[in-house]
Amino acid sequence: DTAVSQTPKYLVTQMGNDKSIKCEQNLGHDTMYWYKQDSKKFLKIMFSYNNKELIINETVPNRFSPKSPDKAHLNLHINSLELGDSAVYFCASSQGTHSSYNEQFFGPGTRLTVL
């Protein structure tokens, strides 16, 4: 009965490959997010997705594309992986877009290693 789940937990791949990370939440939340945490533990927002409206952090390369088949899922697809993409990627969700409901629930993370 995990609230926010991600698969896979670990992902090791070669430079240039394309990979996807899946995220599902069973909390009935309207908004989902993707974050990247680098080796120094800095956590940076990548995307916010609410009711099919996608808000993109402008610093995210367009090789990264979120895909949401429905409200409970937000997958992250990465094209042409680079060494600098190695990080831990966290999915999160929140009840809505009002700031009072912005407590976010995080998944366990996916550790991506690009060789």
Partner 1 sequence: SQQGEEDPQALSIQEGENATMNCSYKTSINNLQWYRQNSGRGLVHLILIRSNEREKHSGRLRVTLDTSKKSSSLLITASRAADTASYFCATDDDNAGNMLTFGGGTRLMVKP
Binding site for partner 1 (CB under 8 A): 4, 31, 33, 35, 40-45, 48, 50, 53, 55, 57, 90, 92, 94, 97-100, 102-109
Rounded least distance, CB 29 to partner 1, Å: 11
Q: Is 9 left (phi over 0), alpha (psi -120 to 50) or beta?
A: alpha
DSSP state of 43: E
Rounded least distance, CB 82 to partner 1, Å: 23
Rank residues 41 and 84 by Cβ distance to partner 1 and give the closer one: 41
Rounded least distance, CB 31 to partner 1, Å: 6
Residues 6+ apart with CB under 8 A from 86: 39, 112, 113, 114
β-strand 10-13 against 110-114: which pairing, if any? parallel
Rounded least distance, CB 20 to partner 1, Å: 19
Rank residues 77 and 111 by Cβ distance to partner 1 and give the closer one: 111
Residues 6+ apart with CB under 8 A from 100: none
